[in-house]
Amino acid sequence: MTNQAADANRAGEPAQIDFAARNGWDAEIDVVDAFQLPTYVGPLSFMKLPWVTDPTEIRARRTDVAIIGAPYDDGVSHRSGARFGPRAIREAQYTSGSINAFESGVRPFELLNVLDAGDAAIVPGSPVRSHAIIYRKVREVAGTGAVPIVLGGDHSIAWPSATAVAELRRPGQIGIVHFDAHADTADTERGQLAGHGTPMRRLIESGAVAGRNFVQVGLRGYWPGTEVFAWMAEQGMRWHTMREIEERGTEAVVADAIAEALDGPDAIYLSVDVDVIDPGLAPGTGTPEPGGLLTRELLRAIRQVVEAVDLAGMDIVEVSPPYDQAETTAMAANRCALTAITALAVRRQAGHPVRWGQGLGREADA
């Protein structure tokens, strides 16, 4: 004990010890910016991007891409849990800061202004309210000029999300490229109009999207029945099965899907159900269907679409964390979003606009 500490102890006073100096904690330490911190430190947002929910601020920042969560799964017919998908997708990342997409040769967050716009304010038990809230959230964010990437949630969220984007783009039209094991064009699900097996029918019946500009990729399995495909053919829809992908290759099929979706429209909305991936690689989905794409094939397809088109919006749905061993499905969904962002960065680097100006066509990206 030092003389100072002994004197303090005899006087009944606490010793004045410099513990920081004693333990080597008084050295100058660099403060790491929050964006550079490990992904498990601090508040949760996609890729540790700024969390900005006010549309006025989103617009003022001239945001290029905005992540939106749609934590809703009341439309699930089999395995529930997709309401936890947005949080799981945000968590399923191991890197942060100014990442380098070495396959594309770009640093997306240096070329684009990207943020996390938070979640639609969902409460369980009210499909109409939840879809209305999702529609309003996507519409106000997309109205700022940013490209919305919506993290589901079950696939029923595509109905309000794509409707909001299509409405903002009028008098122009959007086409839809839909990656999924299932067509999601049922008339009803056990009498329910708003299930996760019906959103594409609702979009077409409502007039938000024309059937002839709706293209599906990856269909397989044992649902739906022939009557549903008959309705799809009547609407002029096009679809490409896994058998066709096996015979012709993913790249050729996706090239056809792009051309079909843009037969009239000038922009594409991309809808990705992660069950298009084989469940051996992405087990955490609501309705797993064996025999699907490899993860790398889906990521390549997303890159092919987004680098080639004017992307109006995107959703990534059906991640169900309770069934997701080792976060593999959530990681795949995270990479779907990041791949789309990177492809948009490639477009920006090539001189193509990314943002959209409501009522003014495409904005200059200066």
Which domain range does residue 164 map to? 34-353
| Residues 139, 25 share a domain | no
| Residues 184, 105 share a domain | yes
| Residues 108, 14 share a domain | no
Helix (H) or strand (E) holding 227: helix 226-234
| Residues 134, 105 share a domain | yes
| Residues 128, 23 share a domain | no
Residue 362 counted as domain residue: no
Residue 131 counted as domain residue: yes
Q: What's the pLDDT score for residue 71?
A: 95
Residue 19 counted as domain residue: yes
Number of domains comprising the chain = 2
Backbone φ and ψ of 217, nearest 5°: -135, 130
Q: What's the pLDDT score for residue 8?
A: 52
What is the C-alpha to C-alpha distance for residues 91 and 127, in angstroms, rounded to an integer? 26
- Beta bridge partner(s), residue 116: 51, 67
CB-based contacts of 298, cutoff 8 Å, min separation 6 = 179, 272, 276, 277, 332, 336
Residue 6 counted as domain residue: yes
What is the C-alpha to C-alpha distance for residues 105 and 174, in angstroms, rounded to an integer? 29
Residue 363 counted as domain residue: no
| Residues 98, 216 share a domain | yes
What is the C-alpha to C-alpha distance for residues 261 and 268, in angstroms, rounded to an integer? 7
CB-based contacts of 234, cutoff 8 Å, min separation 6 = 211
Residue 290 counted as domain residue: yes
Q: What's the pLDDT score for residue 266?
A: 92
| Residues 152, 6 share a domain | no
Q: What's the pLDDT score for residue 268?
A: 97
361-362 and 65-70 strand pairing: unpaired
Q: What's the pLDDT score for residue 359?
A: 41
Q: Would you write out the chain's pLDDT as a tens digit for each of its 366 residues?
A: 455 555 555 556 667 899 899 888 888 888 888 888 887 888 899 999 999 999 999 999 999 999 999 999 887 777 888 999 999 999 998 888 889 998 889 999 999 999 999 999 998 888 899 999 999 999 999 999 999 999 998 999 999 999 999 999 999 999 999 999 998 887 766 556 566 667 889 899 999 999 999 999 999 998 777 888 899 999 999 999 999 999 999 999 999 999 999 999 999 999 999 999 999 999 999 889 999 999 999 999 999 999 999 999 999 999 999 999 899 999 999 999 999 999 999 999 999 999 997 544 445 444
| Residues 129, 17 share a domain | no
Q: How far apart, in Å, do the first and last CA atoms of the chain sit?
A: 67
pTM above 0.95, yes or no: no
Q: What's the pLDDT score for residue 41?
A: 85
| Residues 289, 160 share a domain | yes
| Residues 275, 154 share a domain | yes
Residue 317 counted as domain residue: yes
Collapsed DSSP state (helix, strand, coil) of residue 218: strand
What is the C-alpha to C-alpha distance for residues 7 and 311, in angstroms, rounded to an integer? 74
Q: What's the pLDDT score for residue 37?
A: 83
| Residues 90, 2 share a domain | no
**What's 248's domain CATH number?**
3.40.800.10
Collapsed DSSP state (helix, strand, coil) of residue 300: helix
| Residues 173, 113 share a domain | yes
Residue 366 counted as domain residue: no
